[in-house]
Amino acid sequence: MSADMNTASDHQGAEAVSDEDVMQERQRLISQILDLQNTLDALSSKVDNVKEENLKMKSENQVLGQYIENLMSASTVFQNTDIGPSQSH
């Protein structure tokens, strides 16, 4: 009977170690999940900031493009000259 008791005791010890390993693994996974969630939040925030900056730059580019267009139309340097072949001499 003592052999049966030792076997039962060994089996319980193995389960205890196994349960402890499971708990450690669970804690490790929870910690990893939390880290990944924090990383995702940071990346999401960065993407939002980049999108906002992109919209600002697009708006600025439109304003600058219109400004350049206005300068070119007001300048005589960029005006079309109608010098044809008959007017060149």
Q: Specify if 56 maps to a domain.
A: yes
Q: Which residues, 6 or more positions from 78, have their beta carbon under 8 angstroms from its beta carbon?
A: 72
Residues 6+ apart with CB under 8 A from 72: 78
The reply to whether 42 falls in a domain is yes
Q: Is residue 54 part of a domain?
A: yes
Residue type at position 36:
L
Does residue 32 lie in a domain region?
Answer: yes
Between 48 and 14, whose confidence is greater?
Answer: 48
Of the given ranges (19-23, 32-36, 60-64, 85-89), which has the lowest mean pLDDT? Answer: 85-89
What would the two tokens of residue 86 be? 């008959």
User: Looking at the domain assignment, is residue 55 inside a domain?
Assistant: yes
State the total domains in the chain: 1
Residue 49 lies in a domain: yes
Q: What pLDDT was estimated at residue 10? A: 55
67 is in which domain, residue-wise? 20-77
pLDDT of amino acid 25: 96
Q: What percent of the chain has pLDDT over 70?
A: 69
